């Protein structure tokens, strides 16, 4: 197995089992991925920083521990990639922004530390939209990431680097963050699994904040099993995060073997209306049919306030971003610009003009406007009231169903540079935003391809803290779709 390149395409769970059993060394696995990164990432641009020496050293430590007969963790030897908003001790963490260029944190965030404790090996940091603000991974200081299925197209965002690296087998699995769809949408565009846990299920300690009431860390993987396994590892109470939920880490891998017979699958009318690409509709319908074939029932639903999710989100998220990013001023945080002797105001202007990209500036200004004296009630407060109505819609829907199925995005990945305006890009998240506003768990599972060979995903939304039902339903879709998907791999 150590000489078999197929190991790089294996699931993270299978890789960990092979390392624990001595069928492959952690060092051989790391070297195989480093070789693939060297050969293929030039065409994709998924990684901002690769820690080859650190990964090899950690692999050698794990192999030595196994040789001594010491027990290894559930992710033993699995090489992982981390979105560049996740703080990592000793590795650059820049949020894909010039304003944090060269910053090397002195500590690991909680999710990163838990991955390492479970035996995962960090290969490096992946590109993302600057400060996680975007839906295409075109807003990174280093330039756009390419979709490994078609390098002329976007991988989705903001966790596009993590999704592209996972899809192209440049890592065994990865972590991303999801504020309005930033795990699920790139997972769908890249043909992998992406899970956004319930808000508060995974600690945000050590995550560079975009919108604090919306951000959530989650896995991007090649299988539903891996999404369950990694979520088990990173979830759980963290006293360093005031929003962390005091609930035990979920035993999600147990749900992998549970049947979906009798499961009630809600189909919200609002998610299947409007300008929905017919190939997306057909693929999602096919995924729902797979659930029916496995014994699930479908229920027609309405989520009437969905129409207000996008305007509410684009008030709340920029307002919180405006507050969070105010600290990057060249004094407290951030690389300082402006010549010697410049006044304070001139230094602020120079630092923020040079340090932030166009999309980050746009959202900071939108948020600052919404929070101005005299505007707060009309915008931010009103948006929070709409958020409550959206959460109530979901609560009423879940009285009639166990899980909701919908498209992830209105269409497949679009060509790089094709969006005519920021609003066009924002509309790509129209089906994912409400899940974040309500704080619910959501998952994207591959369910087909377009005629042009672009991956498509189906979105599953669950009740709060009920990631297990997403795993059950996602596993059923994965099994049913496997014959049609198994032979396809991206060729960057």
Helix, strand, or coil (residue 140): coil
pTM above the 0.95 mark? Answer: yes
Structure tokens at 309: 């999710």
Active site residues: 83, 158, 182
pLDDT of 181-197, one tens digit each? 999 999 999 999 999 99
Q: What is the pLDDT of residue 375?
A: 86
- Mean pLDDT is lowest, of 25-29, 130-134, 345-349, for 345-349
Is residue 491 predicted with pLDDT exceeding 80? no
Q: Which helix (H) or strand (E) holds 195?
A: strand 193-196
Q: Are 170 and 161 in contact (CB under 8 A)?
A: no
Q: Are 263 and 402 in contact (CB under 8 A)?
A: yes
Closest CA to 54 of 107, 91, 87, 29: 91
If one compares 332 and 165, the residue with the highest pLDDT of the two is 165
Is residue 357 predicted with pLDDT exceeding 70? yes
Q: What is the pLDDT of residue 284?
A: 98
pLDDT of 415-424, one tens digit each? 999 998 999 9
Helix count and strand count (H, E) for the chain: 15, 11
Mean pLDDT of 268-295: 96
Chain CA centroid to CA 477, Å: 20
Within a 10 A sphere around the Cβ of 241, how many other Cβ atoms? 17
Mean pLDDT of 34-55: 97
Phi and psi at residue 253, to the nearest 5°: -65, -20
Structure tokens at 361: 């500036």
Is residue 204 predicted with pLDDT exceeding 50? yes
Q: What is the pLDDT of residue 382?
A: 95
Average pLDDT, the chain: 95
Q: Which residue shows structure tokens 């939209």?
A: 129
Mean pLDDT of 468-477: 98
Q: What is the pLDDT of residue 376?
A: 85
pLDDT of 160-173, one tens digit each? 999 999 999 999 99
% of the chain beyond a pLDDT of 90: 89
Give the architecture (CATH level 2) of 5-261+441-485. Alpha-Beta Complex (3.90)
- Mean pLDDT is lowest, of 26-40, 138-152, 226-240, 373-387, for 373-387
């Amino acid at each position: 197995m150590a000489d078999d390149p197929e190991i790089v395409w294996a699931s993270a769970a299978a890789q960990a089992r092979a390392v624990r059993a001595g069928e492959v060394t952690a060092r051989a696995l790391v070297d195989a991925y480093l070789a693939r990164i060297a050969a293929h990432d030039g065409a994709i641009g998924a990684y901002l920083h690769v820690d080859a020496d650190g990964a090899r050293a950690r692999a050698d430590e794990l192999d030595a521990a196994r040789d001594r007969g010491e027990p290894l963790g559930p992710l033993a030897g699995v090489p992982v990639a981390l979105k560049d908003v996740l703080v990592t001790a000793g590795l650059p963490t820049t949020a894909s922004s010039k304003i944090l260029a060269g910053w090397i944190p002195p500590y690991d965030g909680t999710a990163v530390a838990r991955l390492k404790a479970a035996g995962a090996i960090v290969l490096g940091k992946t590109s993302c939209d600057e400060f996680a603000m975007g839906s295409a991974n075109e807003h990174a200081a280093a330039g756009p990431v390419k979709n490994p299925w078609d390098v002329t197209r976007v991988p989705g965002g903001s966790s596009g680097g993590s999704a592209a690296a996972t899809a192209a087998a440049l890592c065994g699995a990865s972590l991303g963050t999801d504020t309005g769809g930033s795990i699920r949408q790139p997972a769908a565009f890249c043909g992998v699994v992406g899970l956004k846990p319930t808000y508060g299920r995974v600690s945000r300690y050590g995550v560079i904040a975009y919108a604090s009431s919306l951000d959530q860390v989650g896995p991007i993987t090649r299988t539903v099993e891996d999404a369950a396994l990694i979520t088990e590892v990173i979830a759980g109470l963290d006293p360093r995060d005031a929003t962390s939920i005091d609930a035990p880490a979920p035993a999600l891998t147990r749900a992998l073997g549970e049947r979906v017979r009798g499961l009630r699958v809600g189909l919200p009318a609002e998610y299947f209306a409007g300008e929905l690409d017919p190939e997306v509709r057909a693929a999602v319908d096919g995924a729902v049919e797979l659930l029916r074939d496995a014994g699930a029932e479908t229920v027609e639903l309405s989520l009437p306030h969905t129409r207000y999710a996008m305007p509410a989100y684009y008030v709340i998220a920029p307002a919180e971003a405006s507050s969070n990013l105010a600290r990057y001023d060249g004094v407290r945080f951030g690389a300082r610009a402006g010549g010697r002797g410049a006044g304070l105001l001139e230094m602020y202007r120079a630092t923020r003009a040079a340090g932030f990209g166009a999309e980050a500036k746009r959202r900071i200004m939108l948020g600052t406007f919404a929070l101005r004296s005299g505007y707060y009630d009309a915008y931010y407060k009103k948006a929070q009231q709409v958020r409550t109505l959206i959460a109530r819609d979901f609560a009423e829907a879940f009285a009639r169903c166990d899980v909701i199925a919908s498209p992830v995005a209105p269409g497949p990945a679009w060509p790089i540079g094709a969006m005519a305006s920021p609003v066009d890009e924002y509309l790509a998240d129209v089906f994912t935003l409400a899940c974040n506003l309500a704080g619910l768990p959501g998952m994207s599972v591959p369910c087909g391809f377009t005629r042009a060979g672009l991956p498509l995903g189906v979105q599953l939304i669950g009740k709060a803290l009920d990631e297990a039902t997403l795993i059950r339903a996602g596993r059923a879709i994965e099994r049913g779709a496997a014959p049609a998907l198994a032979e396809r791999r991206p060729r960057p």
